[in-house]
Structure 1
Amino acid sequence: MTGGRFVFPPSNEAIFLTDGGLETTLVFLEGMDLPCFAAFPLLRSKEGRAKLERYFEPYIRTAIERDVGFILDTPTWRANTDWAAKLDVSPEDLADVNREAVRWASSLRDRLSDNNERVLINGAIGPRGDGYRADAQMSAEEAQAYHAPQVEAFREGGADMVSAVTMNYAEEAIGIARAAEALGLPVVISFTVETDGKLASGETLQSAIERTDRETGHIPAYYMINCAHPTHFDGILSERDEWTRRIRGLRANASTKSHAELDESTELDPGDPDDLARRYRGLRERMTQLAVLGGCCGTDHRHIAAICEACVPTSSRLS
């Protein structure tokens, strides 16, 4: 923050939290049925919106109480054409849902926070295919054309930024970054890795980040890692490497299980919130640029509160 205003991308002097694992919380802890693991249909009913609000409220309140910022994702990880078709949602209705997702998030922010610049509305973009498999691969040009309608809907709804999460091959990330630039929105790219620290496509994280930067002219504001436990990527990160310094956020899984094991799980593995928080703290001590701290599959409000407590000393909190 400078003079009370948000500086994008966030610096290590201005920490921002995110939520945890939205879909896993709703399915495993709330007992909800989410066909195709899609949360966006909840926006279409009063009851669904109420469930989403109850989910996000404790995260936002934690950020406010601890004097840090918050990046509020729209529940739109599955809200693209392919997944919508599986749910019998037309392209026209899908565009309305993506716009409404931003407006809904903005209204929640207005209700819970008196400082809108500390709560950013982030249009969440998921992969065209499965987040755990590099299927349905596209060229960068195809990916730009495919994801542009969702980015455009976010812009029309008034989003502050967009993030592509659970990316598992570089071409899709490149296409989304180009689409966001063409439509005038800041963009964040978050890759996911397997237990060996590589993307599902077999590409190294270093190669994916460096190639995305090279082929987009460094469009992404920063990079993140999500949907993997710290033990899966800790060993490949070095504070001495330039590409590593482009990583400014973490949204780790609670579980140390592989993606294949998680895909087959019938019960939630919440891991150990305190252990996860200590691992975040260790990573942040090495990589002081890490400024966006949140969770992914299996994490809930307990994990994020523990991470904040472990990683954010009073001197780093927003004033």
Structure 2
Amino acid sequence: MKYRNALPQMNGTQMITDGGLETTLIFHDGLELPLFAAFKALESDKGLAAIDAYMTRFADLACRERRGFVMDTPTWRASARWAAELGLTQETLRAVHQETVCTLIRLRERFEHPQTSPFVVNGVIGPQDDGYAPSSTLTADQAEAYHCVQVGWFEEFGADMVSGITMTYADEAIGIASAAKSRNMPVSIAFTVETDGALPSGQSLRDAIQTVDDETDGYPAYYMINCAHPDHFSHVLKGDWTGRIMGLRANASRLSHAELDAADTLDDGDPQELGDLYAQLAHLLPNLTVLGGCCGTDHRHVAAICAST
């Protein structure tokens, strides 16, 4: 909880995130991740080594670039619905959250240079249903009740903040923000969009952000866009509301969500092109401080982003 009351990215400190953890583990490290659950890799020595090597690459990059590092827990699929499908008990799931937070705290102790490279422990919360095309949705109250367990664990075990990642509709984001508010946890919300720049629900990105802010009295510390190529959303970034977007975790691939879902090979795009596109997006997003990648990206892409911004 070192930065819980003063997130460095909120005072203008430039931060990186990691890239596409799950796609790296599957396509580069040859691991099987049932239900795309990265935390399942923690069950084997090979998986533990792969995640440690993966996070170490980004920690090294942050130190070299003299940027902070928002360190994500591998818990995007570690909520009750997915745990049940994986046959995990609540007790086991709680232990996963404790282990992942403690592991990142140890990583911080190894690498952090507080004056130049603050390392923030971020508890990742994924959607209750599919991250691209949910077959069912929750009300804001249902989402708060569902996600409050994870938020509580992250608060208990010492995370600095939590993030709702790959949100496809506003009500679930409202629930996550409300759960975080009830535990006094800073929270960021990352929406994903389709190739037309709108959320999978059809709502515009602008309306989704404004709806969450209206319903939570502006509680989220900031918003992000993730799991979409810059070409899919750059055209909608117009107006004062874009000041609420402080983070980008884009794909290097121009494939749609449906195409990514069906792909059996990795499309990792062009790291340098992605870096150049981030430089252009920085002119549209005046408060941009958190830069990383999503599906298909790795340390090469984030290094290119750092070089370009």
Contact 1:9/1:221 (<8 A) preserved: no
Residues 16-69 of structure 1 deviation map (CA, whole Å, 9 limit, x = unaligned): 000000000111111111111101122344443222110111111111111110
Contact 1:12/1:289 (<8 A) preserved: no
Q: 1:287 aligns with which of 270, 285, 290?
A: 285
Q: Distance in 2 between matches of 1:189 and 1:302?
A: 25
Q: Distance in 2 between matches of 1:243 and 1:134?
A: 26
Cα RMSD of the aligned pairs, angstroms, is 1.8
Measured after TM superposition, the shift of residue 248 of structure 1 is: 0.5
Contact 1:128/1:136 (<8 A) preserved: no
Q: What are the residue-to-residue correspondences of 1:150-299 with 2, within 5 Å? A: 150-238=150-238, 241-299=239-297
State the TM-score, normalized to the length of structure 1.
0.92
Q: Distance in 2 between matches of 1:215 and 1:5?
A: 23
Equivalent AA in structure 2 for residue 277 of structure 1: G
Measured after TM superposition, the shift of residue 14 of structure 1 is: 1.3
Structure 1 unmatched ranges of 5 or more: 312-319
Structure 2 unmatched ranges of 5 or more: none
Residues 134-186 of structure 1 deviation map (CA, whole Å, 9 limit, x = unaligned): 33200000000000001111111100000000000000000000000101110
Partner of 1:65: 64
Q: What are the residue-to-residue correspondences of 1:45-64 with 2, within 5 Å? A: 45-64=44-63
State the TM-score, normalized to the length of structure 2.
0.95
Measured after TM superposition, the shift of residue 109 of structure 1 is: 1.6
Equivalent AA in structure 2 for residue 176 of structure 1: I
Q: What are the residue-to-residue correspondences of 1:21-32 with 2, within 5 Å? A: 21-32=20-31
Q: Distance in 2 between matches of 1:6 and 1:24?
A: 33
Q: Distance in 2 between matches of 1:5 and 1:210?
A: 24
Q: What are the residue-to-residue correspondences of 1:101-120 with 2, within 5 Å? A: 101-115=100-114, 118-120=118-120
Measured after TM superposition, the shift of residue 254 of structure 1 is: 1.2
- Where 1:10 maps in the other structure, the secondary structure is helix
- Where 2:306 maps in the other structure, the secondary structure is helix
Q: What are the residue-to-residue correspondences of 1:71-86 with 2, within 5 Å? A: 71-86=70-85
Partner of 1:317: none
Contact 1:20/1:304 (<8 A) preserved: yes
Q: Distance in 1 between matches of 2:145 and 2:89?
A: 18
Q: Distance in 2 between matches of 1:33 and 1:5?
A: 34
Q: What are the residue-to-residue correspondences of 1:291-310 with 2, within 5 Å? A: 291-310=289-308
Residues 219-251 of structure 1 deviation map (CA, whole Å, 9 limit, x = unaligned): 10000000000000000002xx22211001000
Q: Distance in 2 between matches of 1:224 and 1:287?
A: 11
After the TM superposition, list the runs of 4 or more consecutive aligned residues in structure 1 that deviate by more than 4 angstroms: 4-7
Q: Distance in 1 between matches of 2:269 and 2:207?
A: 30
Contact 1:9/1:222 (<8 A) preserved: no
- Where 2:223 maps in the other structure, the secondary structure is strand
Q: How many residues align?
A: 306
Equivalent AA in structure 2 for residue 212 of structure 1: V
